[in-house]
Amino acid sequence: MNTVSEVRCSIDEIDEQILRLLAKRRDLDIRMADIKYNSGLPVRETHENEQSMQRLMDAGMSLNLSPDFVDSVFRTVFANSLSQQISYIQGIVGINHQLNRKLNVSFLGNVGTYSYLATYKYFNSICDYIQPKNCTSFDDIIKAVESGECDCGVLPIENTSSGCINEVYDLLQKSDVKIIGELTYPIEHTILVKKDTELSRIKRLYAHPQPFSQCSDWLRANLPDVELKACSSSSEAMETVKNLDRDDCAAIGCSEAGALYSLKSIHGNIANQKRNITRFIVIGMSNIIVPQDIEAKTSITFTTENTPGSLVRVLNVFSRNNINVVKLQSRPRIQNNLDSETRGVWDETFYADILINANTPLMTALLAELREVTGSIRVLGCYAVSNTAGR
């Protein structure tokens, strides 16, 4: 091998061998998932993976490969293996509706928050036991997943009354987590109290800022002079009212959650929109593969040039390919280590949900077209479409 083309040809042959071996490993991942499912074993094997990683780094050093390089490559391989196994088991559960395994899941607040209720609704169908990680911020939810402390996280992303939760969209720009699922959960806001009282006696009302926004019309009409006390979560609000044990303090929450804190509802259905639904996304560190016979949604972000018609050119790509865009949200672009562009030319980031399976030739062709009319584009994840009743 004395020429560049000869060496490049040999490298290409090795790369193809690596691909064939990765495909063989994928088949073994599926076999492993089947054994774990039937044996009731947990999918995640943190201790075993760390032992394997140490063994691989030692072996790599004997081959003059950097331990950091080996670690980087096989962290990706292990993450994909976990994703493959979870995806396979989710397909089984879609038929059998039973599974014996534990998942560590991060979500906002403690017992009784809407995130708590939505999390258990989603995961009760795919795992036997949830180990919760109660977080006080959306950022903490994501960091728990990024660090490996949790397998998955649950984030509210939009509400039919208050609209999009911009903080979550901004955090997704900065993070490399993947969206692996979604669910919708009906929100039924009520006024919760510890002691029997009248609305006219309430002086302080505790809630997360989102319920305040979602119930603003009712609050202006019925409690115009009440002092609004913002809390990090609905669970904190309910816990506070429970501990205060006063007849002039109340919280906004749902009656089901209130009962967990010995609170009772004195007025219900207070949201601006009576059909009040929150959409949640489920995040993990690796993409899942959605079976072709299941309706799939793919979430992407892209930047556009700050010139007239730039967004229209992007939308025309979706139209030509007959792709339904079910969500389009604009946010100021946040510079981060995932971004190689120089800020100034590409100033706006768009978040889009499109009805297409990311693991198809059509998606590959679509991305190629989009790259011609965008500054950058990222696939945040592909997942099964949720119905309005939730998963």
**pLDDT digit string, tens, across residues 109-153:** 888 888 988 998 888 766 667 889 999 999 999 999 998 899 899
User: Which comes out higher in pLDDT, residue 332 or 227?
Assistant: 227
Q: 163 falls in which pLDDT band (50, 70, 90)?
A: confident
Judged on CB neighbours under 10 Å (0-12, 13-18, 19+), 279 is buried
User: Which comes out higher in pLDDT, residue 171 or 30?
Assistant: 171
In whole angstroms, give the CA distance from residue 376 to residue 288. Answer: 22
Q: Report the pLDDT averaged over residues 362-374.
A: 95
Q: Which pair of tokens denotes residue 31? A: 């076999």
Lowest mean pLDDT among 28-37, 46-55, 335-344: 335-344
**CATH 1.20.59.10 residue spans of the chain:** 4-96
Cα-flanking dihedrals φ and ψ of residue 293, to 5°? Answer: -90, 5
Residue 97 has pLDDT above 50, yes or no: no
**CATH 3.40.190.10 residue spans of the chain:** 102-186+278-384, 190-270
Residue 154 has pLDDT above 70, yes or no: yes
Residue 256 has pLDDT above 50, yes or no: yes
In whole angstroms, give the CA distance from residue 337 to residue 351. Answer: 18
Q: 161 falls in which pLDDT band (50, 70, 90)?
A: confident
**pLDDT at position 336:** 56
CATH number (3.40.640.10, 1.20.59.10, 3.30.70.1400, 3.30.750.24) of 4-96 reads 1.20.59.10
Dihedral of CA atoms 367, 368, 369, 374 in degrees, nearest 10, equals 70
Q: 391 falls in which pLDDT band (50, 70, 90)?
A: very low
Fold entry, domain 102-186+278-384: D-Maltodextrin-Binding Protein; domain 2 (3.40.190)
Q: Which pair of tokens denotes residue 387? A: 């119905």
Q: Report the pLDDT averaged over residues 262-290.
A: 88
**pLDDT at position 46:** 67
Q: Which pair of tokens denotes residue 389? A: 């009743």
Which tens digit of pLDDT belongs to each residue from 5-15? 888 999 999 99
Q: What is the mean pLDDT of the chain?
A: 86
**pLDDT at position 39:** 76
Which tens digit of pLDDT belongs to each residue from 311-331? 999 999 999 999 999 999 998
What are the residue ranges of helices labelled H in the chain? 4-39, 46-62, 67-96, 114-123, 138-146, 166-174, 209-214, 216-222, 234-244, 255-260, 310-320, 361-371
CA atoms within 13 A on the CB side of 90: 19
Residue 341 has pLDDT above 60, yes or no: no
Lowest mean pLDDT among 184-198, 297-311, 375-389: 375-389
Termini Cα distance of the chain: 57
The pTM of this model reads 0.66
**pLDDT at position 94:** 45
User: Which comes out higher in pLDDT, residue 386 or 104?
Assistant: 104
**pLDDT at position 105:** 93
In whole angstroms, give the CA distance from residue 120 to residue 132. Answer: 10
In whole angstroms, give the CA distance from residue 267 to residue 17. Answer: 66
**pLDDT at position 389:** 36
Distances in Å between the Cα of 204 and the Cα atoms of 209, 214, 224, 226, 251 are 14, 18, 11, 6, 8
Q: Report the pLDDT averaged over residues 205-220.
A: 93
Residue 96 has pLDDT above 50, yes or no: no
| Domain 190-270, classified CATH 3.40.190.10, yes or no | yes
**Cβ-proximal residues to 150 (8 Å cutoff; 6+ apart), any chain:** 104, 105, 106, 133, 144
Residue 301 has pLDDT above 90, yes or no: yes
Q: Report the pLDDT averaged over residues 367-385.
A: 93
Q: Which pair of tokens denotes residue 136? A: 């006080």
Q: b/e per residue, 153-181, with b = 16+ CB within 10 A?
A: bbbbbbbbbbebbeebbbbbbebebbbbb
Q: Which of 385, 386, 380, 339 is nearest to 172 (CA)?
A: 380
Dihedral of CA atoms 240, 241, 243, 247 in degrees, nearest 10, equals 150
Q: 269 falls in which pLDDT band (50, 70, 90)?
A: confident
Lowest mean pLDDT among 156-165, 285-294, 354-363: 285-294
In whole angstroms, give the CA distance from residue 193 to residue 204. Answer: 11
